Homo-oligomer: A and B are copies of this chain.
Amino acid sequence: MASNQELQLDHDRFARTGVAEAVYAPGKSPAQCAAAVAGLLSRVATGPVLLTRASAPQVEAALARNPGATATPVGEDAHGRPLRTLAWRALAPAPGSVLLLTAGTADLPVAREAEAVLAAYGHATTLVADVGVAGLHRVLAQQARLAEARVVIVAAGMEGALASVVTGLTDAPVIAVPTSTGYGATFGGVSALLAMITSCAAGVAVVNIDDGFGAGTIAARIARQSA
C-alpha cells in the first residue's frame, strides 16, 4: 500500500533541445509552481525558464520564491480569472526578426505570449495588431515587413482567414495560432483551427488554440536556424 511519489523534472531539456522546460501552471498548487520553477533555475545552468498560464496566486508564489521574472497577460481561465506567463533569465538578443500579426485586438494576448517566449530566447520581434481581412488594405500595408520577415506568426480567431492571406503574401514560413475570439459557431477557436489547417495557401502550419507559447517556441526554433 506504500505510495512513493517522486516529482520528475526535465533538467537537461535546454541542452538537448535548446528550449528549457516550461512549467504549465494549471492544475498545480502555487507551491508546486514555485518549486518547479526553483528546481529548474537552480539545476539548469543557462537559458530561460518559463511558467505558463499562471493564475494570480500562482504568479505570486512563483515570484516570491523566484524574483526577477517578466510577466505577460495571456487571457483568462474558464472562470474569467486573468492568466499570466512568466519568464526568467532571458537570453541576450539574437539576430533574426519575427513578425507577429493579429486579426483583431482580442487576439493580442495570444500574440503577446508568443512575443514573450521569443524575447526570452533573444529574438527581435515586430507585432502589428488588427489587420483582419475584412479591411484588406490593413494587411496589404504590411507587405514590406512580410518581405523582410524570417518567420511570421498569425493569431486570428473567428474564421481565421488572415493565415491564408498572409501565407500568400510572404515566402517566410508562417505559424498560425487559432484564437478563441468570437462566439457561436466559432466553437472557442475550432473553426479558426480547421480553417488554418485546411488553408488553400501552402507554407503554413498550425499550433493549438490560444497557444501563444507553442507558436513562440517553434518560431524560436526556426529563427535560431536562420541566425
Return the CB mask of A191-227 against B: 1 if under 8 Å, else 0. 1111111111111111111110111011001101110
Q: Nearest CB to that of A2 among chain B residues?
A: B124
Contact A105 B164 (CB under 8 A): no
A144 in contact (CB, < 8 A): no
A3 in contact (CB, < 8 A): yes
Knowing A1-B123, A28-B105, A195-B191 are in contact, say whether A10-B221 is a contact too (CB < 8 A).
Answer: no
Interface hits, A68-89 → B, CB 8 Å: 78-80
Q: Which residues of B have CB within 8 Å of A213?
A: 202
Contact B165 A1 (CB under 8 A): no
Interface hits, A156-213 → B, CB 8 Å: 158-161, 164-165, 167-176, 178, 180-211, 213
Q: Which residues of B have CB within 8 Å of A26?
A: 106, 181, 183
Q: Which residues of B have CB within 8 Å of A201?
A: 133-134
Q: Which residues of B have CB within 8 Å of A171?
A: 16-19, 221, 224
Q: Which residues of B have CB within 8 Å of A197?
A: 184-185, 191, 193, 197, 206-208
A203 vs B222: C-alpha distance in the bound complex, in angstroms? 9
Interchain residue pairs with CB less than 8 A apart (23)? A2-B125, A3-B119, A3-B126, A10-B138, A16-B171, A24-B106, A26-B183, A27-B109, A27-B181, A53-B183, A134-B167, A134-B168, A159-B159, A159-B164, A183-B211, A186-B198, A194-B194, A197-B208, A203-B214, A203-B218, A204-B207, A205-B206, A205-B218
Q: Known A-B contacts: A2-B124, A133-B133. Give 13 more (CB < 8 A).
A: A5-B108, A5-B127, A6-B128, A13-B135, A16-B168, A17-B167, A150-B225, A159-B195, A165-B165, A171-B221, A184-B209, A204-B218, A225-B225
A contacts, CB < 8 Å to B: 1-10, 12-13, 16-19, 21-22, 24, 26-28, 32, 36, 53, 78-80, 93, 103-109, 115, 119, 122-138, 140-141, 150-151, 158-161, 164-165, 167-176, 178, 180-211, 213-215, 217-218, 221-222, 224-226
